[in-house]
Amino acid sequence: MKPKIGPPLLHATATGLAPGRVRPLALALSCALLTACAAVGPDYREPPPVDIGSGWTLSLASERESADLTQWWATLDDPILDRLMATARAQNLDLRQAAARVDEARALRDRVAGEALPSVGAGASVNRRRQSKNGPLPIGSIPGLDATQTIYDAGFDAAWEVDLFGAKRRALEGASARLQATEVEAQGVRMRVAAEVARTWFTAVGAGYELHAQQATLSTLQQTLELVRLRHALGDASAADVEAAYTQWAAVNALLPDIQARQRAAVLGLGVLLGAPPERELALLDEPLTPWTLRALPVGERADVLRRRPDVLAAERRLAASSADIGVATAELFPKLSIGVGGGFQALSTGDWFDASSSRFSILPLISWRLFDGGRVRAEIRAREAAEQQAALAYEQAVLTALGDAERALGDYHGGLDTLQRRAMAVDAARKSYGYANTRYAAGDIALIELLAAQRSLHEAETAAARAHTSAAVQLVALYKALGGGWDAPAMTSQTTNPALKSTATVLAAPSVP
């Protein structure tokens, strides 16, 4: 085994099987004692406590409960959404890429683990050669020695670098932590894909509700326009009244293409999210509209967000990997011990190839130590320590970002439910007003144009309610995503739980809104 390039090396060799048999045994025992040394560098400890406050900032009902966020879309009782989610989780290309990244990280981790084990190789060769009689070795003057020889050789070679100061152990710790971070990030992709599928489906359905309401409004405006034109022909309305009625009709009519385009674009986006051509789900445009019920969501303790968020868990695992990197760099300050062992059979005749007298054996212990390197190792240690500080700050930032996302999403959904409730009240009022107008029209107390005006107000209120419902549904998706919903938290999350993360469980207090 060739020594590494560097300062002068302290080394020893032992060959043969006879008098020095005790030396390899003593050397092996010495190696076993040396490998019992503790790994250099800092042992990883949990991240420092991060101040997360005392609880949610909104005035919510405090309860010790939390919704099951693993498959949160199942609570909406939408069979189409359930089918879309199942297909996306099986076929989405982002998820498949994330799975491939996990396989890559696992292979890299296995490679690091394999570096701690001896490497063994075997080979066999037949070498036919002729040496010069006029060369430095006087072949011609040595009786019985032919200038032309055939050498038969078979054997093995083994090499092992003893992990005296834990460099390989620290490298394995770092690789394992990076594998865990990659696994968590893959689950984060799964969470984002689920949220995107739900958001896109809600957008498509919401556009369908809005289109239906606008078409009803347009129908009412069409009746109003025809009535005004009839009255104009009879001399009861002016040309300006006709133009005003037409302007209202044209304004609503101009909205329909944009709504239809938004609905179609959302359905086309679903096809891509499902890992298929965009047009795969166009048949959903003809599906009946699916009603949802949006209600209060038990959000649990504030600290639960940090136990579920993939970005927080991945940041913690990167911090662990950075801590292990310090140990790998620190081990370069200490000696290294490598052991090379070789053996086999060598003969000039095939008949003697595997004879006991043709056996060969060698052992080469090699100790190397960097006595002077211009401060490169210590500079590398400082760089790894700085990287660990960056990872610690990145973890703290991930915690605060997660809390900020959850607070904003919670506030948005709270406001969305409030808006939806108020829109529902407006629809109820418009429906009652239309009922009164219809009664008065049947009694002959008002003209048809007044009845159509009340009907138009009802349709406009229904359109606004449809938009508010879609907005609240999208905000619900954002809240589930901010809370870390949509994936199964791995068992390792118990390692990342910070005892300082204490808060109160809360439930978003708002009435159920159809």
Flag whether 212 is in a domain.
Answer: yes
Say if residue 411 is in the same domain as residue 491. yes
Going by C-beta distance under 8 Å and a sequence separation of 6 or more, which residues neighbour residue 306?
52, 312, 399, 402, 403, 498, 501
Say if residue 200 is in the same domain as residue 327. yes
- Show which of 324, 346, 368 is a domain's final residue: 368
Flag whether 514 is in a domain.
Answer: no
Read off the pLDDT of each residue in 328-356 and give the average, rounded to a whole number. Answer: 87
Flag whether 513 is in a domain.
Answer: no
Say if residue 125 is in the same domain as residue 248. no
- Show which of 313, 346, 368 is a domain's final residue: 368
pLDDT of 411 > 50? The answer is yes
Read off the pLDDT of each residue in 468-494 and give the average, rounded to a whole number. Answer: 79
Read off the pLDDT of each residue in 492-509 and give the average, rounded to a whole number. Answer: 37
Say which residue the tokens 């100061």 belong to: 165
Read off the pLDDT of each residue in 171-183 and give the average, rounded to a whole number. Answer: 95
Give the per-residue pLDDT at 496: 41
Phi, psi of 316, rounded to the nearest 5 degrees: -65, -40
Give the per-residue pLDDT at 513: 33
Give pLDDT tens digits for 384-402.
999 999 999 999 999 999 9
Residue 359's pLDDT band, with cuts at 50, 70 and 90, is confident
For residue 474, which amino acid is it? V
- Best CA proximity match to 297, nearest among 472, 493, 465: 472
Helix (H, G, I), strand (E, B) or coil at 119: strand
Residue 37's pLDDT band, with cuts at 50, 70 and 90, is low
Structure tokens at 270: 């679903």
- Per cent of the chain over pLDDT 90 is 47
Read off the pLDDT of each residue in 183-204 and give the average, rounded to a whole number. Answer: 94
Flag whether 202 is in a domain.
Answer: yes
Say if residue 457 is in the same domain as residue 500. yes
Say if residue 484 is in the same domain as residue 421. yes
Give the per-residue pLDDT at 20: 44
- Show which of 368, 391, 423 is a domain's final residue: 368
Q: In terms of pLDDT, which residue wins out, 311 or 30?
A: 311
- Per cent of the chain over pLDDT 70 is 83
Say if residue 270 is in the same domain as residue 295. yes
Give pLDDT tens digits for 201-226.
999 999 999 999 999 989 988 998 99
pLDDT of 91 > 50? The answer is yes
- A 10 A CB-CB count for 385 gives 18
pLDDT of 329 > 60? The answer is yes
What CATH code is carried by the domain that includes residue 499? 1.20.1600.10
Residue 497's pLDDT band, with cuts at 50, 70 and 90, is very low
Choice among 35-44, 48-57, 195-204, 411-420 with the minimum mean pLDDT: 35-44
Give the per-residue pLDDT at 140: 63
Say if residue 125 is in the same domain as residue 173. no
Flag whether 277 is in a domain.
Answer: yes
pTM exceeds 0.85 for this model? no
Say if residue 416 is in the same domain as residue 446. yes
Say if residue 285 is in the same domain as residue 326. yes
Give the per-residue pLDDT at 59: 63
Say if residue 324 is in the same domain as residue 307. yes
Read off the pLDDT of each residue in 357-372 and give the average, rounded to a whole number. Answer: 87
Integer angstrom CA distances of residue 324 from 41, 174, 182 = 7, 5, 17
Residue 178's pLDDT band, with cuts at 50, 70 and 90, is very high
Give the per-residue pLDDT at 168: 92
What CATH code is carried by the domain that includes residue 354? 2.20.200.10
Q: In terms of pLDDT, which residue wins out, 122 or 18?
A: 122
Range of the domain at 14: 1-36+118-162+337-368
pLDDT of 64 > 70? The answer is no
Flag whether 512 is in a domain.
Answer: no
**Count of domains for the chain:** 2
Residue 144's pLDDT band, with cuts at 50, 70 and 90, is low
Mean pLDDT score of the chain, rounded to an integer? 82
Choice among 35-39, 80-84, 91-95, 504-508 with the minimum mean pLDDT: 504-508
For residue 105, which amino acid is it? A
Going by C-beta distance under 8 Å and a sequence separation of 6 or more, which residues neighbour residue 310?
184, 185, 187, 188, 191, 484, 487
Flag whether 315 is in a domain.
Answer: yes
* Burial of residue 94 (number of CB atoms within 10 Å: 0-12, 13-18, 19+): middle
Say if residue 268 is in the same domain as residue 241. yes
Say if residue 206 is in the same domain as residue 290. yes
Flag whether 87 is in a domain.
Answer: yes
Residue 356's pLDDT band, with cuts at 50, 70 and 90, is confident
Give pLDDT tens digits for 259-287.
999 999 999 999 999 999 999 999 999 88
